[in-house]
Amino acid sequence: MNMDCPMEEALIRKRLSSVEGITGLEFNLMQRVLTVRHSLPSTLVIEEALASIDMIPERLGKAGTPASPVVEASIAWKKLAAAAVFAAFSEASELALAWSGGVSPFLEFLPFLFAAAAIILGGLGTYRKGWIAVSNLNLNINALMSVAVTGAVLIGQYPEAAMVMVLFNISEAIEARALNRARNAIGKLLALSPERAMVQQADGSWEERDIRTVSVGSIIRVKPGERVALDGVIRRGHSAVDQAPITGESIPVEKAEGDIVFAGTINTFGSFEFEATAAASDTTLSRIIHAVEDAQGRRAPIQRFVDAFARRYTPAVFLLSLLTAFGLPLCMDWAWKDAVYTALVLLVIGCPCALVISTPVSIVSGMAAAMRSGILVKGGMFLEQGRLLRCLAFDKTGTLTHGRPRLTDREILGAEEGERSALLAAGLAARSDHPVSRALAENAEEQGLALPDVEDFEAVPGLGVRGRVEGRLYHLGSRRMMACLGLDSAELEGRIAALESRGRTVVALAGEEGVLALFAVADTLRENSREAVRELKELGVHTVMLTGDNENVARVIASQAGVDEYFSGLLPEDKLHALEKLAARGGKVGMAGDGINDAPALARADIGFAMARGGTDTAMETADVALMDDDLRKIPRFIRLSRATYAILVQNIVLALGVKALFFALTFSGCATMWMAVFADVGTALLVVANGLRAAKK
């Protein structure tokens, strides 16, 4: 619970580096989680080493939560208030001593006594932490503050020493509360899944059970207003489900039999029963939680730079203070007391906390905002670098398009009525599992048509299908089937070629008297694809479509979507090569895909975007960003959020360094005091935390 910033991380690294058997350390400072990789027989040695530096560890359970309840350390506000009163008394007695001309023996000791009481009440913890840091050859804020307060006491600045210690501890308490708000920014989003669910038993009765004991295939009942406990498929009932926590959709989604529901979503008004398709540890929500926890451990480049800068900055400030204390009197005729006091002010203002907390707060807040929009970002590095995308490549099938053919055109050629031809074709298609046949059958189902009975059905490999309806033989297939039947003609070829030039796949229905109708199917564009491409262009991102389809299909879909260029006839390895060519033009390149064949390109891209709802697990795991509702408009939203988060990061860093630079100048000009330095440092820390939290509202 004491691990807050890279200062503590450095202290822990230094202490555990002396423990043999430890092979790796991973820090998640925002969630205060340390992962230790080791070959030791038990963790006892590790726990004792951490306890020796006042980092009392709490083991995590299998679910990633503390094995026993962890209570946030309460702040001793009453003790701090008493310390503040004694510090004020020290200042008042100092003023009274000055008014009396310094001749009152009674008043002479009061400033020191009151200051000592204030320091003891408010600063023993700081001294303990400072001593631990110094004894481990580590300079953190507690060490700097301990040296500064002790130095102030030694040069007789009792009221200031007391006030600095009290203000420092009050600021630490306020800062801790502000940081906890940042920690909770994502935690609140993840506390979604209920712990228990109503499960149907073998005898048909219902029993409330812990979701961790519910197996895949179990039937679970959800009442109005309840949260869905596990991922599943509705088997009975219908409702509208609020999926905002998972997909970011702003309005509830209608759900009926056969529809998918996600753990953590909210049932609004109806009641339904669903079959669990994932265990509690494998739900979409649990995968999101795991990805977020992993993401918080991956630091953005700017965050790694700030941490590295802080590690060198603190010793440099300490060295500058020493040079000030001893160099100014020896080289510039400064009074020793003034030089030491100036050095102490430098120690106080030199604290790097405001700088090092500015980046994780902003990054985590930005990730929280992304999650609320249904965008799962797997690391701060991707959120920061999204602003640099200059080119985005889309897979076509299942990404820009729905990923399944739909009936788009119907041309009647024979004597049969249009409705009759459609029924005959759908009747034959319903018996086939070919994608084109499924498109015809689904269209008939959507219209509620009653399909005719088909007898003597037969699939003709590579050509189509045939069967008898009411005793008459019908064929449904490609132009090759028509040619084999001797039904091809120049007119038929022309009609088929015209449809294929528009990116359609064409099948013909033929009866005993000749060709009756042509049916064209195509993979249709998603409703939001064109808008997503338009927004990306407005952001200055070059758009490209990659597809394995032929030139005609690729040209039509590319034109409909409005992408800048396209590559057709690509195998999975060809998509990877195409992405490498795009990267060679310069700038960061992204890739959006949904299938296993997109995984190589997703892995090669600077940022990979996966369609999480309809995509494969392989694409989801390979990508760096997951779009929970498959809405491509989330990609420009991600880029805008990345730019806004980066702007806040830069603001925080400039503010933190600017205030320090200003106070360094004021210190050497003799205009800054220790308590002013504390206020400046505390105020800056609170400002960068508050500014960082703005990213969560973007």
CA–CA gap between residue 615 and residue 72 (Å, rounded): 40
Rounded Cα distance between 79 and 75, Å, is: 9
In DSSP notation, 1-53 reads ----SHHHHHHHHHHHTTSTTEEEEEEETTTTEEEEEE--S-SHHHHHHHHTT
Residues 291, 370 contacting (CB under 8 angstroms):
no
3-state secondary structure of 466: strand
Q: Which one from 231, 307, 395, 594 is the annotated catalytic residue?
A: 395
Cα distances (Å, whole numbers) of residue 260 to 225, 228, 263, 290: 18, 11, 10, 21
Task: Assess whether 395 carries a catalytic annotation.
Answer: yes
Strand ranges in 366-449 using DSSP code E only, listed in sequence order: 375-377, 389-395, 401-412
Question: Judging by beta carbons within 10 Å of its beta carbon (0-12, 13-18, 19+), is residue 308 exposed, middle or buried?
Answer: exposed
How many whole angstroms separate alpha carbon 694 and alpha carbon 698?
7
Nearest to 272 by CA among 314, 309, 308, 220: 220
E strands, 364-491, are 375-377, 389-395, 401-412, 455-460, 464-469, 472-477
Half-sphere exposure of 117 (CA within 13 A, CB side): 17
Query: How many alpha carbons fall within 13 Å on the CB side of residue 417?
Result: 3
Cα–Cα distance for residue pair 104/106, rounded to 1 Å = 5
DSSP 662-678: HHHHHHHTT---HHHHH
Cα dihedral 531, 532, 533, 537 sign: positive
N-term to C-term CA, the chain? 29
* Cross-strand pairs, 257: none
The amino acid at 59: R
Catalytic residues: 395
